[in-house]
Amino acid sequence: MQDNKPNAFHRADSSEQTTATAVSARKVGNKEKSSARLDDSLITDPKKGTPPSNTVPPNYIKDQTTILRYGIDSLYLSFSGSLSPDLEDKLVSLKLAAQSNEQDEKVTAQIKFGDHLFEVLGRGARRFPFILSSNFFQIQLSHHASDSLPIAYVQISSELLTFTPFKKIMTDINFIINSCGLVTGLPKISRVDLFADFVTLHEVKNWDSSVWVSRAEKTNAYSVKRKFTGWVIGEGSPISARLYNKTTEIEKSKKDYLKPIWLESGWNGIDPVWRLEFQLMREVLKELSTLNIETLLKHQNGLWRYATKDWLRLTVPNLKDSNQTRWPTHPIWEALQKTPFSENEQIILKRVNQERVPSDDSPFINGLGGITSFMAKNGITELDEGFGEFIAAADRFHQFKGRKKGTGLKQYISGKVKEKGRKFNSIDNRLRTERKSELAKAYRKGKYDE
């Protein structure tokens, strides 16, 4: 689970707007020239109204934007305290195992807290030397002697936030972090992403950047294969916004679990679903008195109103007025401003797997590529014959390749299964290692007792 959003964009244009402090922005994709003039469909002439187009009829109709879903998409927490020295020693060993070239050692780089099995990575992140990863959480842990760092920095997965109540999530993560050492105080929010998914009959396009009235310094449009995919405003700042084509993005991120939710909310399965998302970092959350979970749940609506009214606004250009702050708010934005955030969670209860398993496309489409290539290479058209010949040929290949080590196809498959089981959090290789160790110990004891 990566720290950043899946990158569905390539930069299409960049322009500066109003004042704000910004951190250096990421360079993404190919830069293209901005629109040479304002989009005609967005220009307001007091006498003529809005010109007709194939997506927007004369004069805007304000109910043409439908909110499908909204809530918290990403949440990052920090826990104060100190790591257990014994656990740190164990994590050092597991991190070294993860870095090993020996497969039997590498696959044992796992740790379990209650029912939560984590992969221990062979690298750290910034000043956090240890990373534990599952489909629920990615946890970065500090050295036990570190006074300046929290014991843990935790990213909660978007899928877990979609289907699991906050109370259950916090119960689980509090148990895990308290199992790691001495925790002091309540967890603090380091970052939260609020979002709203919507469909609209209005055209969302690469407008001239002047339509955005914002406190941000950077405004960037993005495209994929010359197709416009969205905007990023204030990238790298304590608060930033993304307005992007979510249906395009999930083609890469594979978050197909969103589609049934959208369909239930009225999506027709065809039109693009757009997402407006605000990323709020600790600095701005502190100013808005929202640094813990309790206040976050109470302040969601206030944070959204601040982001969509005070910090950023999409407007309709008015050629009669040179002051863009007086331009009327775009109908899409008016609908988004009214998104009904509240303390009541918009949760669709569903069991979320802790395992990071791939979709069925991976084994049943991509995975069959080797077999079909083998069959075509050898002129085999019958499936049963193809499978049989493939296994026999694979066995001969691995017997020859592993002859010096005394290994063959069975050992190769076993090693790969353990390796992927560790990556997917679906197999606890520690149990097999411990069992083998116990059997070896029992064998030695019985032999020496004779």
Question: Is pLDDT above 50 for 14?
Answer: no
Rounded to whole angstroms, how far apart are CA atoms 205 and 181? 50
Rounded to whole angstroms, how far apart are CA atoms 292 and 296? 6
CB 120 within 8 A of CB 132: yes
Q: What is the pLDDT of residue 383?
A: 86
**Neighbour count for residue 279 (Cβ, 10 Å):** 23
Residues, the chain, total? 450
Rounded to whole angstroms, how far apart are CA atoms 300 and 343? 7
Rounded to whole angstroms, how far apart are CA atoms 336 and 275? 10
Q: What is the pLDDT of residue 348?
A: 57
Average pLDDT for residues 131-137, to the nearest whole number? 93
**Neighbour count for residue 343 (Cβ, 10 Å):** 11
Rounded to whole angstroms, how far apart are CA atoms 65 and 329? 14
Average pLDDT for residues 39-54, to the nearest whole number? 42
Q: Percentage of residues in the chain with pLDDT exceeding 90?
A: 51
**How much helix, strand and coil, in percent to the nearest 5, is found in the chain?**
35, 25, 40
Q: Got the DSSP string for 3-59?
A: SSPP----EEEEEE-S----PPPP--S---PPPSS--GGG-BBTTTBSPP-SSS-SS
Rounded to whole angstroms, how far apart are CA atoms 359 and 181? 36
- Give residue for tokens 């790298």: 236
**Neighbour count for residue 420 (Cβ, 10 Å):** 14
Between the alpha carbon of residue 398 and those of residues 366, 369, 376, 403, the distances in Å are: 22, 19, 21, 8
> Which residues lie closer than 8 Å to 171 by C-beta, 6 or more apart?
none
Extents of the domains making up the chain? 13-74+191-337, 81-184, 361-449
Between the alpha carbon of residue 62 and those of residues 58, 313, 329, 335, the distances in Å are: 12, 16, 11, 8
Question: Is pLDDT above 50 for 269?
Answer: yes
Least confident of 5-19, 220-234, 270-284: 5-19
Burial of 393 per CB tally in 10 Å (0-12, 13-18, 19+): middle
> Which residues lie closer than 8 Å to 252 by C-beta, 6 or more apart?
6, 7, 8
Q: Which of 247, 246, 171, 241 is nearest to 213 (CA)?
A: 241
Question: Is pLDDT above 70 for 430?
Answer: yes
Q: Got the DSSP string for 291-345?
A: -SHHHHHHHHHHHHHIIIIIIEEEB--BTT-S-GGGSPBPHHHHHHHT----SS-
Mark residue 209 as left, alpha or beta (left: phi above 0; alpha: psi -120 to 50; beta: remaining): alpha
Between the alpha carbon of residue 80 and those of residues 52, 172, 240, 340, the distances in Å are: 57, 17, 26, 33
> Which residues lie closer than 8 Å to 404 by C-beta, 6 or more apart?
none
Give 26's DSSP letter. Answer: P
In angstroms and rounded to an integer, the radius of gyration of the C-alpha atoms of the chain is: 27
Average pLDDT for residues 140-169, to the nearest whole number? 92
Question: pLDDT digit string (tens) for 355-387?
Answer: 556 666 777 777 788 888 888 888 888 888 887
Q: What is the pLDDT of residue 374?
A: 81
Give 377's DSSP letter. Answer: H
Q: What is the pLDDT of residue 9?
A: 41
Residue 86 tokens read as: 């014994």
In 41-125, beta strands by DSSP E = 65-79, 81-83, 110-113, 116-120
**Neighbour count for residue 442 (Cβ, 10 Å):** 10
Q: Percentage of residues in the chain with pLDDT exceeding 70?
A: 75
CB 156 within 8 A of CB 193: no
CB 42 within 8 A of CB 56: no
Give 8's DSSP letter. Answer: -
Q: How many CA atoms lie within 13 A of 5 on its CB side?
A: 25
pLDDT bucket at 46, cuts 50 / 70 / 90: very low
Q: What is the pLDDT of residue 450?
A: 45
Question: Is pLDDT above 70 for 440?
Answer: no
Question: pLDDT digit string (tens) for 290-320?
Answer: 999 999 999 999 999 999 999 999 999 998 9
Average pLDDT for residues 399-416, to the nearest whole number? 75
Give the DSSP H/E element, type plus range, for residue 194: strand 188-200
> Which residues lie closer than 8 Å to 413 by C-beta, 6 or more apart?
none
Q: What is the pLDDT of residue 226?
A: 86
Question: Is pLDDT above 50 for 55?
Answer: no
Question: Is pLDDT above 80 for 434?
Answer: no
- Output phi, psi for 34, to 5 deg: -70, 165
Rounded to whole angstroms, how far apart are CA atoms 221 and 226? 11
SS3 281: strand
Give the DSSP H/E element, type plus range, for residue 374: helix 369-377
Give 243's DSSP letter. Answer: E
**What is the value of pTM for the model shown?**
0.72
